[in-house]
A = this chain, B = another copy of it.
Protein backbone atom coordinates (compact mmCIF):
# COMPACT_ATOMS: atom_id res chain seq x y z
CA UNK A 1 0.00 0.00 0.00
CA UNK A 2 1.78 3.10 -1.10
CA UNK A 3 0.42 5.57 1.38
CA UNK A 4 2.36 7.99 3.47
CA UNK A 5 1.30 8.54 7.02
CA UNK A 6 0.63 12.23 7.34
CA UNK A 7 0.88 13.34 10.91
CA UNK A 8 2.45 16.07 12.97
CA UNK A 9 4.61 13.63 14.89
CA UNK A 10 6.56 10.75 13.55
CA UNK A 11 4.94 7.32 13.81
CA UNK A 12 7.45 4.79 15.04
CA UNK A 13 6.53 1.33 13.79
CA UNK A 14 5.62 -0.86 16.74
CA UNK A 15 6.55 -4.54 16.83
CA UNK A 16 3.78 -6.99 16.03
CA UNK A 17 4.30 -8.63 19.44
CA UNK A 18 3.70 -5.24 21.08
CA UNK A 19 0.47 -4.76 19.14
CA UNK A 20 -0.74 -8.23 20.10
CA UNK A 21 0.10 -7.56 23.73
CA UNK A 22 -1.70 -4.23 23.66
CA UNK A 23 -4.89 -5.80 22.38
CA UNK A 24 -4.48 -8.85 24.63
CA UNK A 25 -4.54 -6.46 27.58
CA UNK A 26 -7.64 -4.65 26.30
CA UNK A 27 -5.88 -1.60 24.88
CA UNK A 28 -7.32 0.58 22.12
CA UNK A 29 -5.34 0.93 18.90
CA UNK A 30 -4.65 4.39 17.57
CA UNK A 31 -5.63 5.21 13.98
CA UNK A 32 -1.96 4.97 13.06
CA UNK A 33 -1.63 1.54 14.61
CA UNK A 34 -4.69 0.26 12.71
CA UNK A 35 -3.27 1.72 9.52
CA UNK A 36 0.06 0.02 10.22
CA UNK A 37 -1.66 -3.33 10.84
CA UNK A 38 -3.67 -3.11 7.61
CA UNK A 39 -0.56 -2.04 5.68
CA UNK A 40 1.40 -4.94 7.16
CA UNK A 41 -1.29 -7.43 6.20
CA UNK A 42 -1.42 -5.98 2.71
CA UNK A 43 2.35 -6.04 2.28
CA UNK A 44 2.44 -9.54 3.83
CA UNK A 45 4.94 -8.22 6.34
CA UNK A 46 3.01 -9.47 9.33
CA UNK A 47 3.58 -13.22 9.66
CA UNK A 48 0.43 -15.32 9.56
CA UNK A 49 0.87 -16.61 13.10
CA UNK A 50 1.09 -13.10 14.55
CA UNK A 51 -1.96 -12.05 12.58
CA UNK A 52 -3.80 -15.11 13.92
CA UNK A 53 -2.85 -14.27 17.50
CA UNK A 54 -3.88 -10.65 16.99
CA UNK A 55 -7.25 -11.66 15.57
CA UNK A 56 -7.90 -14.03 18.47
CA UNK A 57 -6.99 -11.26 20.92
CA UNK A 58 -9.47 -8.99 19.11
CA UNK A 59 -12.06 -11.76 19.35
CA UNK A 60 -11.74 -11.72 23.14
CA UNK A 61 -11.11 -8.02 23.77
CA UNK A 62 -13.19 -6.41 21.04
CA UNK A 63 -12.59 -3.09 19.35
CA UNK A 64 -14.10 0.34 19.89
CA UNK A 65 -16.32 2.02 17.29
CA UNK A 66 -13.41 4.30 16.45
CA UNK A 67 -11.01 1.38 15.97
CA UNK A 68 -13.56 -0.48 13.85
CA UNK A 69 -14.32 2.55 11.70
CA UNK A 70 -10.63 3.10 11.04
CA UNK A 71 -10.23 -0.59 10.25
CA UNK A 72 -13.15 -0.48 7.78
CA UNK A 73 -11.77 2.67 6.17
CA UNK A 74 -8.24 1.31 5.84
CA UNK A 75 -9.36 -2.09 4.57
CA UNK A 76 -11.60 -0.33 2.05
CA UNK A 77 -8.57 1.62 0.83
CA UNK A 78 -6.45 -1.51 0.57
CA UNK A 79 -7.87 -2.07 -2.90
CA UNK A 80 -9.81 -0.34 -5.63
CA UNK A 81 -12.89 1.69 -4.71
CA UNK A 82 -15.63 1.58 -7.32
CA UNK A 83 -16.30 5.08 -8.54
CA UNK A 84 -20.03 5.51 -9.08
CA UNK A 85 -19.94 9.29 -8.83
CA UNK A 86 -20.96 9.62 -12.48
CA UNK A 87 -24.23 7.81 -11.76
CA UNK A 88 -26.61 10.42 -10.43
CA UNK A 89 -28.99 7.99 -8.66
CA UNK A 90 -28.69 7.09 -4.96
CA UNK A 91 -26.56 4.00 -4.32
CA UNK A 92 -27.79 1.78 -1.53
CA UNK A 93 -26.66 -1.76 -0.93
CA UNK A 94 -28.09 -4.58 1.11
CA UNK A 95 -26.07 -6.98 3.20
CA UNK A 96 -27.18 -10.12 5.00
CA UNK A 97 -25.14 -12.14 7.48
CA UNK A 98 -26.47 -15.17 5.62
CA UNK A 99 -29.25 -17.61 6.24
CA UNK A 100 -30.80 -20.84 5.02
CA UNK A 101 -33.35 -20.41 2.23
CA UNK A 102 -32.73 -16.67 2.01
CA UNK A 103 -33.45 -15.39 -1.50
CA UNK A 104 -33.98 -11.75 -0.61
CA UNK A 105 -30.67 -10.45 -2.00
CA UNK A 106 -31.48 -11.80 -5.46
CA UNK A 107 -34.88 -10.10 -5.27
CA UNK A 108 -33.82 -6.82 -3.69
CA UNK A 109 -31.11 -5.80 -6.16
CA UNK A 110 -33.51 -5.61 -9.16
CA UNK A 111 -36.33 -4.35 -6.92
CA UNK A 112 -34.17 -1.43 -5.72
CA UNK A 113 -33.10 -0.68 -9.30
CA UNK A 114 -36.75 -0.69 -10.36
CA UNK A 115 -37.36 1.95 -7.68
CA UNK A 116 -34.52 4.10 -9.03
CA UNK A 117 -31.91 3.02 -6.48
CA UNK A 118 -28.59 1.72 -7.74
CA UNK A 119 -27.66 -1.52 -6.01
CA UNK A 120 -24.10 -2.83 -6.41
CA UNK A 121 -24.38 -6.33 -4.94
CA UNK A 122 -20.90 -7.75 -4.88
CA UNK A 123 -20.94 -10.96 -2.91
CA UNK A 124 -18.00 -11.91 -0.79
CA UNK A 125 -17.06 -15.05 1.03
CA UNK A 126 -19.84 -16.87 2.81
CA UNK A 127 -20.20 -19.33 5.59
CA UNK A 128 -19.79 -22.88 4.36
CA UNK A 129 -23.35 -24.03 4.89
CA UNK A 130 -25.06 -21.19 3.07
CA UNK A 131 -25.79 -21.62 -0.63
CA UNK A 132 -24.34 -18.48 -2.13
CA UNK A 133 -26.26 -16.25 -4.51
CA UNK A 134 -23.90 -17.33 -7.31
CA UNK A 135 -24.60 -20.96 -6.66
CA UNK A 136 -28.27 -20.12 -7.00
CA UNK A 137 -27.82 -18.00 -10.12
CA UNK A 138 -25.58 -20.67 -11.64
CA UNK A 139 -28.81 -22.63 -12.17
CA UNK A 140 -29.42 -20.16 -14.99
CA UNK A 141 -27.47 -21.27 -18.06
CA UNK A 142 -24.71 -18.90 -19.09
CA UNK A 143 -24.96 -16.59 -16.10
CA UNK A 144 -21.61 -14.93 -15.50
CA UNK A 145 -20.81 -13.79 -12.00
CA UNK A 146 -17.29 -12.65 -12.71
CA UNK A 147 -17.28 -9.09 -13.99
CA UNK A 148 -14.51 -6.56 -14.24
CA UNK A 149 -14.85 -3.29 -12.36
CA UNK A 150 -15.50 -1.54 -15.68
CA UNK A 151 -18.28 -3.98 -16.55
CA UNK A 152 -19.79 -3.54 -13.10
CA UNK A 153 -19.91 0.24 -13.41
CA UNK A 154 -21.36 0.04 -16.91
CA UNK A 155 -24.11 -2.37 -15.87
CA UNK A 156 -25.00 -0.26 -12.84
CA UNK A 157 -25.27 2.74 -15.10
CA UNK A 158 -27.38 0.85 -17.68
CA UNK A 159 -29.64 -1.29 -15.50
CA UNK A 160 -29.07 -0.13 -11.95
CA UNK A 161 -28.13 -3.47 -10.43
CA UNK A 162 -25.57 -6.25 -10.60
CA UNK A 163 -25.07 -9.48 -8.67
CA UNK A 164 -21.53 -10.67 -9.03
CA UNK A 165 -18.55 -12.07 -7.22
CA UNK A 166 -16.38 -9.73 -5.31
CA UNK A 167 -13.62 -8.54 -7.54
CA UNK A 168 -10.09 -9.44 -6.44
CA UNK A 169 -9.14 -5.80 -6.72
CA UNK A 170 -11.64 -4.87 -4.03
CA UNK A 171 -10.58 -5.00 -0.34
CA UNK A 172 -7.79 -7.60 -0.73
CA UNK A 173 -6.97 -7.22 2.96
CA UNK A 174 -10.51 -8.24 3.87
CA UNK A 175 -10.10 -11.39 1.80
CA UNK A 176 -6.92 -12.27 3.70
CA UNK A 177 -8.48 -11.46 7.08
CA UNK A 178 -11.56 -13.52 6.28
CA UNK A 179 -9.55 -16.55 5.20
CA UNK A 180 -7.53 -16.31 8.40
CA UNK A 181 -10.65 -15.94 10.55
CA UNK A 182 -12.23 -18.97 8.93
CA UNK A 183 -9.25 -21.18 9.75
CA UNK A 184 -8.80 -19.83 13.26
CA UNK A 185 -12.44 -19.97 14.39
CA UNK A 186 -12.75 -16.21 14.79
CA UNK A 187 -15.58 -15.56 12.34
CA UNK A 188 -18.06 -14.46 15.05
CA UNK A 189 -16.10 -11.39 16.13
CA UNK A 190 -18.49 -8.45 16.10
CA UNK A 191 -15.95 -5.71 15.33
CA UNK A 192 -14.31 -7.84 12.64
CA UNK A 193 -17.65 -8.63 10.97
CA UNK A 194 -18.53 -4.95 11.17
CA UNK A 195 -15.23 -3.87 9.66
CA UNK A 196 -15.47 -6.49 6.94
CA UNK A 197 -19.03 -5.62 5.89
CA UNK A 198 -18.51 -1.87 5.86
CA UNK A 199 -15.15 -1.99 4.10
CA UNK A 200 -16.53 -4.16 1.31
CA UNK A 201 -19.81 -2.37 0.83
CA UNK A 202 -18.26 1.07 0.84
CA UNK A 203 -15.56 -0.07 -1.58
CA UNK A 204 -18.35 -1.11 -3.93
CA UNK A 205 -19.47 2.50 -4.04
CA UNK A 206 -22.52 2.23 -1.80
CA UNK A 207 -23.52 5.46 -0.06
CA UNK A 208 -25.78 3.71 2.36
CA UNK A 209 -26.42 0.22 3.58
CA UNK A 210 -29.38 -1.87 4.71
CA UNK A 211 -28.21 -4.78 6.84
CA UNK A 212 -30.07 -7.96 7.69
CA UNK A 213 -28.51 -9.50 10.79
CA UNK A 214 -29.84 -13.00 11.20
CA UNK A 215 -29.85 -14.87 14.48
CA UNK A 216 -30.66 -18.47 15.22
CA UNK A 217 -29.78 -22.05 14.39
CA UNK A 218 -29.47 -21.26 10.68
CA UNK A 219 -27.08 -18.35 11.18
CA UNK A 220 -23.52 -18.30 12.43
CA UNK A 221 -24.90 -15.96 15.09
CA UNK A 222 -26.75 -18.32 17.39
CA UNK A 223 -27.55 -15.80 20.06
CA UNK A 224 -30.13 -13.02 19.75
CA UNK A 225 -28.24 -10.67 22.04
CA UNK A 226 -25.12 -11.07 19.91
CA UNK A 227 -27.12 -10.33 16.76
CA UNK A 228 -28.44 -7.14 18.34
CA UNK A 229 -24.91 -6.21 19.35
CA UNK A 230 -23.70 -6.72 15.79
CA UNK A 231 -26.56 -4.62 14.40
CA UNK A 232 -25.75 -1.83 16.84
CA UNK A 233 -22.04 -2.12 16.11
CA UNK A 234 -22.60 -1.73 12.36
CA UNK A 235 -24.85 1.28 12.91
CA UNK A 236 -22.46 2.91 15.38
CA UNK A 237 -19.44 2.41 13.17
CA UNK A 238 -21.16 3.45 9.95
CA UNK A 239 -22.28 6.60 11.71
CA UNK A 240 -18.75 7.43 12.74
CA UNK A 241 -17.85 6.95 9.06
CA UNK A 242 -20.68 9.35 8.09
CA UNK A 243 -22.60 6.72 6.16
CA UNK A 244 -26.32 6.07 6.28
CA UNK A 245 -27.20 2.66 7.59
CA UNK A 246 -30.20 0.72 8.90
CA UNK A 247 -30.08 -2.78 10.35
CA UNK A 248 -32.87 -5.28 10.93
CA UNK A 249 -32.35 -8.20 13.28
CA UNK A 250 -34.33 -11.11 11.84
CA UNK A 251 -35.22 -14.64 12.81
CA UNK A 252 -33.19 -17.48 11.27
CA UNK A 253 -34.47 -20.38 13.37
CA UNK A 254 -36.13 -22.06 10.41
CA UNK A 255 -35.46 -21.88 6.67
CA UNK A 256 -36.85 -18.81 4.94
CA UNK A 257 -39.56 -19.60 2.41
CA UNK A 258 -40.72 -23.00 1.21
CA UNK A 259 -37.56 -24.39 -0.35
CA UNK A 260 -33.81 -24.79 -0.09
CA UNK A 261 -31.66 -25.67 -3.10
CA UNK A 262 -30.20 -23.93 -6.08
CA UNK A 263 -32.74 -24.10 -8.91
CA UNK A 264 -35.60 -24.33 -6.43
CA UNK A 265 -34.61 -21.12 -4.72
CA UNK A 266 -34.22 -19.20 -7.97
CA UNK A 267 -37.77 -20.15 -8.86
CA UNK A 268 -38.98 -18.89 -5.50
CA UNK A 269 -37.07 -15.65 -6.06
CA UNK A 270 -38.83 -15.23 -9.41
CA UNK A 271 -42.19 -15.67 -7.67
CA UNK A 272 -41.23 -13.01 -5.15
CA UNK A 273 -40.26 -10.63 -7.94
CA UNK A 274 -43.80 -11.03 -9.21
CA UNK A 275 -45.23 -10.21 -5.79
CA UNK A 276 -46.04 -13.87 -5.10
CA UNK A 277 -44.42 -16.54 -2.92
CA UNK A 278 -44.39 -17.52 0.74
CA UNK A 279 -45.50 -15.02 3.36
CA UNK A 280 -42.29 -14.84 5.41
CA UNK A 281 -40.15 -14.00 2.40
CA UNK A 282 -42.75 -11.56 1.07
CA UNK A 283 -42.67 -9.78 4.43
CA UNK A 284 -38.87 -9.67 4.54
CA UNK A 285 -38.57 -8.43 0.93
CA UNK A 286 -41.10 -5.72 1.65
CA UNK A 287 -39.48 -4.57 4.89
CA UNK A 288 -35.92 -4.59 3.53
CA UNK A 289 -37.10 -2.98 0.28
CA UNK A 290 -38.82 -0.22 2.24
CA UNK A 291 -35.63 0.44 4.17
CA UNK A 292 -33.68 0.69 0.91
CA UNK A 293 -36.01 3.22 -0.72
CA UNK A 294 -36.29 5.30 2.46
CA UNK A 295 -32.53 5.32 3.00
CA UNK A 296 -32.12 6.32 -0.65
CA UNK A 297 -34.53 9.20 -0.18
CA UNK A 298 -36.79 7.84 -2.93
CA UNK A 299 -39.64 7.60 -0.42
CA UNK A 300 -40.10 9.96 2.49
CA UNK A 301 -42.61 8.15 4.66
CA UNK A 302 -43.21 4.56 5.67
CA UNK A 303 -46.43 4.55 3.69
CA UNK A 304 -44.88 5.90 0.49
CA UNK A 305 -41.96 3.47 0.89
CA UNK A 306 -44.45 0.60 1.07
CA UNK A 307 -46.33 1.87 -1.95
CA UNK A 308 -43.11 2.34 -3.95
CA UNK A 309 -41.96 -1.22 -3.29
CA UNK A 310 -45.37 -2.82 -3.83
CA UNK A 311 -45.82 -0.91 -7.08
CA UNK A 312 -42.67 -2.27 -8.80
CA UNK A 313 -43.58 -5.79 -7.66
CA UNK A 314 -47.14 -5.51 -8.98
CA UNK A 315 -46.47 -3.69 -12.25
CA UNK A 316 -43.74 -6.20 -13.24
CA UNK A 317 -40.95 -3.60 -13.26
CA UNK A 318 -38.82 -5.42 -10.65
CA UNK A 319 -39.22 -8.67 -12.58
CA UNK A 320 -38.33 -6.87 -15.81
CA UNK A 321 -35.11 -5.42 -14.31
CA UNK A 322 -34.21 -8.90 -13.04
CA UNK A 323 -34.49 -10.28 -16.56
CA UNK A 324 -32.40 -7.41 -17.90
CA UNK A 325 -29.74 -8.10 -15.28
CA UNK A 326 -29.63 -11.81 -16.08
CA UNK A 327 -29.39 -11.04 -19.78
CA UNK A 328 -26.70 -8.40 -19.26
CA UNK A 329 -24.66 -10.97 -17.34
CA UNK A 330 -24.99 -13.53 -20.14
CA UNK A 331 -27.73 -15.66 -18.61
CA UNK A 332 -30.35 -17.50 -20.67
CA UNK A 333 -33.65 -15.84 -19.71
CA UNK A 334 -35.80 -18.58 -21.23
CA UNK A 335 -36.07 -20.41 -17.90
CA UNK A 336 -37.25 -17.25 -16.18
CA UNK A 337 -40.38 -17.25 -18.30
CA UNK A 338 -40.67 -21.01 -18.35
CA UNK A 339 -39.60 -22.62 -15.04
CA UNK A 340 -39.83 -26.07 -16.65
CA UNK A 341 -36.48 -25.32 -18.24
CA UNK A 342 -34.69 -25.23 -14.84
CA UNK A 343 -32.66 -28.33 -13.96
CA UNK A 344 -34.87 -30.90 -12.27
CA UNK A 345 -33.98 -33.77 -9.95
CA UNK A 346 -34.75 -37.31 -11.11
CA UNK A 347 -36.50 -38.29 -7.89
CA UNK A 348 -38.85 -36.57 -5.48
CA UNK A 349 -39.98 -38.18 -2.25
CA UNK A 350 -41.57 -36.96 0.92
CA UNK A 351 -40.08 -36.85 4.40
CA UNK A 352 -42.96 -38.27 6.44
CA UNK A 353 -43.87 -36.89 9.87
CA UNK A 354 -42.97 -39.60 12.42
CA UNK A 355 -46.03 -38.72 14.52
CA UNK A 356 -48.89 -36.24 14.60
CA UNK A 357 -48.40 -32.82 16.13
CA UNK A 358 -47.27 -29.29 15.48
CA UNK A 359 -43.93 -28.40 13.98
CA UNK A 360 -42.30 -27.02 17.10
CA UNK A 361 -38.78 -26.20 15.90
CA UNK A 362 -36.76 -26.67 12.72
CA UNK A 363 -33.00 -26.58 12.90
CA UNK A 364 -32.20 -24.60 9.77
CA UNK A 365 -28.49 -25.39 10.08
CA UNK A 366 -29.24 -29.12 9.87
CA UNK A 367 -31.55 -28.54 6.91
CA UNK A 368 -28.69 -26.74 5.17
CA UNK A 369 -26.30 -29.61 5.87
CA UNK A 370 -28.81 -32.11 4.57
CA UNK A 371 -29.25 -30.21 1.32
CA UNK A 372 -25.50 -29.79 1.05
CA UNK A 373 -25.09 -33.56 1.16
CA UNK A 374 -27.78 -34.07 -1.50
CA UNK A 375 -26.07 -31.54 -3.76
CA UNK A 376 -22.49 -32.75 -3.35
CA UNK A 377 -21.13 -34.66 -6.29
CA UNK A 378 -17.92 -36.57 -6.66
CA UNK A 379 -16.29 -33.84 -8.70
CA UNK A 380 -16.64 -31.44 -5.78
CA UNK A 381 -19.29 -29.52 -7.69
CA UNK A 382 -22.78 -28.53 -6.69
CA UNK A 383 -25.84 -30.21 -8.20
CA UNK A 384 -28.27 -27.36 -8.98
CA UNK A 385 -31.31 -29.64 -9.42
CA UNK A 386 -31.57 -31.05 -5.90
CA UNK A 387 -32.96 -29.60 -2.72
CA UNK A 388 -36.11 -29.59 -0.65
CA UNK A 389 -39.46 -27.94 -1.20
CA UNK A 390 -42.85 -27.56 0.47
CA UNK A 391 -41.18 -27.19 3.84
CA UNK A 392 -43.74 -27.32 6.66
CA UNK A 393 -42.89 -24.31 8.77
CA UNK A 394 -42.97 -23.83 12.53
CA UNK A 395 -46.56 -23.91 13.81
CA UNK A 396 -47.93 -26.13 11.05
CA UNK A 397 -50.08 -29.04 12.18
CA UNK A 398 -49.25 -32.42 10.60
CA UNK A 399 -50.69 -35.92 10.81
CA UNK A 400 -48.42 -38.95 11.13
CA UNK A 401 -47.00 -39.83 7.70
CA UNK A 402 -47.86 -36.49 6.16
CA UNK A 403 -44.90 -34.83 4.41
CA UNK A 404 -42.72 -32.46 6.41
CA UNK A 405 -41.05 -31.58 3.10
CA UNK A 406 -40.43 -32.92 -0.40
CA UNK A 407 -36.90 -34.09 -1.14
CA UNK A 408 -35.53 -33.63 -4.66
CA UNK A 409 -32.53 -35.89 -5.23
CA UNK A 410 -30.45 -37.45 -7.97
CA UNK A 411 -28.04 -39.79 -6.18
CA UNK A 412 -29.65 -42.60 -4.14
CA UNK A 413 -26.40 -43.06 -2.18
CA UNK A 414 -26.63 -39.54 -0.80
CA UNK A 415 -30.25 -39.82 0.28
CA UNK A 416 -29.78 -41.69 3.56
CA UNK A 417 -26.95 -39.50 4.95
CA UNK A 418 -28.94 -36.41 3.96
CA UNK A 419 -32.11 -37.80 5.54
CA UNK A 420 -30.30 -38.17 8.85
CA UNK A 421 -29.86 -34.41 8.99
CA UNK A 422 -33.26 -33.54 7.57
CA UNK A 423 -35.06 -35.85 10.00
CA UNK A 424 -33.16 -34.60 13.03
CA UNK A 425 -33.91 -31.03 12.05
CA UNK A 426 -37.59 -31.42 12.95
CA UNK A 427 -39.11 -31.43 16.39
CA UNK A 428 -42.85 -32.09 16.64
CA UNK A 429 -44.84 -31.29 19.75
CA UNK A 430 -48.47 -31.78 20.80
CA UNK A 431 -49.06 -28.06 21.41
CA UNK A 432 -49.00 -25.25 18.86
CA UNK A 433 -45.84 -23.18 19.47
CA UNK A 434 -45.87 -19.39 19.63
CA UNK A 435 -45.52 -17.81 16.19
CA UNK A 436 -41.91 -16.63 15.81
CA UNK A 437 -41.42 -12.93 15.09
CA UNK A 438 -39.58 -12.42 11.80
CA UNK A 439 -38.18 -8.93 12.35
CA UNK A 440 -37.04 -8.75 15.96
CA UNK A 441 -35.48 -5.32 16.05
CA UNK A 442 -34.76 -2.35 13.84
CA UNK A 443 -31.60 -0.38 14.57
CA UNK A 444 -30.95 2.95 12.87
Q: List 12 A-B contacts (CB under 8 A).
A: A16-B183, A20-B185, A24-B56, A24-B59, A24-B186, A49-B51, A49-B180, A52-B52, A52-B184, A53-B185, A56-B57, A57-B185
Contact with B along A24-60 (1 / 0, CB 8 A): 1000000000000000000000011111110111011
Q: Within the complex, what minimum Cβ distance (angstroms) separates A225 from chain B?
A: 15
The reply to whether A186 and B59 contact each other, CB–CB distance below 8 Å, is no
Q: How far is the CB of A441 from chain B (nearest CB, A)?
A: 25
Q: Which residue of B lies closest to A61 (CB)?
A: B60
A117: shortest Cβ distance to chain B, in Å? 39
Q: Are A24 and B185 touching (Cβ within 8 A)?
A: yes
CA distance A59 to B60 in the complex (A): 10
- Known contacts being A24-B56, A56-B57, A60-B60, is A50 close to B183, with CB within 8 Å? yes
A186 to B55, CA, bound (A): 13
B17:A53 contact, CB within 8 angstroms: no
Contact A49 B185 (CB under 8 A): no
- Chain B residues near A280: list those with CB within 8 A: none
**A279 on interface, CB distance cutoff 8 Å:** no
Question: Would you call A21 an interface residue if the criterion is a C-beta within 8 Å of the partner chain's C-beta atoms?
Answer: yes
* Chain B, Cβ-Cβ closest to A22: B185
CB nearest neighbor in B for A25: B185
A55–B50 CA distance with the chains assembled, in angstroms = 11
Given pairs A20-B184, A50-B52, A57-B185, 14 additional interface contacts (CB within 8 A): A16-B183, A17-B182, A17-B183, A17-B185, A18-B185, A20-B56, A49-B51, A49-B52, A52-B53, A52-B56, A52-B184, A53-B53, A53-B55, A53-B186
CA distance A56 to B53 in the complex (A): 6
Within 8 A of B (CB), among A175-229: 180, 182-186
Q: Nearest Cβ in chain B — how far from A50, in angstroms?
A: 6
Residues of B within 8 A of A53 (CB): 52-53, 55-56, 184-186
- Chain B residues with CB under 8 Å of A47's CB are 48, 183
| Minimal beta-carbon separation of A371 from chain B (angstroms) | 22
A49 and B17 within 8 A (CB):
no
For A186, the chain B residues whose CB sits under 8 A away are: 24, 53
Distance (whole angstroms) from the CB of A47 to the closest CB of chain B: 8
What residues of chain B lie closer than 8 Å to A56, measured between beta carbons?
20, 24, 52-53, 56-57, 60
The minimal Cβ–Cβ distance linking A369 to chain B, given in whole angstroms, is: 15
Give every chain B residue within 8 A of A185 (Cβ-Cβ). 17-18, 20-21, 24, 53, 57
Q: How far is the CA of A323 from the CA of B187 in the complex (A)?
A: 59
Give complex CA distance A152, B85 in Å. Answer: 75
Task: Report chain B residues within 8 Å CB of A50.
Answer: 52, 183-184
Interface string of A80-99 (1 = CB under 8 A from B): 00000000000000000000
- Rounded to whole angstroms, the CA-CA distance of A53 and B48 in the bound complex is 10
Nearest Cβ on chain B to A18's Cβ, whole angstroms: 8
Once the chains are docked, how many angstroms separate the CA of A396 from the CA of B97?
64
Q: How far is the CA of A184 from the CA of B49 in the complex (A)?
A: 8
A49 to B47, CA, bound (A): 8
| Contact A17 B60, CB 8 Å, known A49-B48, A52-B53 | no
What CA separation (Å) do A50 and B55 show in the bound complex? 11
Q: Which 10 A-B pairs have the closest CB atoms?
A: A53-B184, A56-B56, A49-B52, A21-B185, A48-B49, A20-B185, A52-B52, A52-B53, A60-B60, A53-B56
CA–CA, A180 to B52, complex, Å? 12
Shortest C-beta distance, A192 to chain B (Å), equals 13
Residues 1 to 25 of chain A near chain B (Cβ within 8 Å) = 16-18, 20-21, 24
Q: Counting chain B CB atoms within 10 Å of each CB, which of A17, A59, A185, A186 scores highest?
A: A185
The residues of B that contact A16 with a CB separation of less than 8 Å are 183
Q: How far is the CB of A429 from the nearest CB of chain B, in Å? A: 29
Q: Which residues of the other chain, B, contact A21 by a CB distance below 8 angstroms? A: 185
Give the chain B neighbours of A52 by CB distance below 8 A: 48-50, 52-53, 56, 184
CA distance A24 to B189 in the complex (A): 11
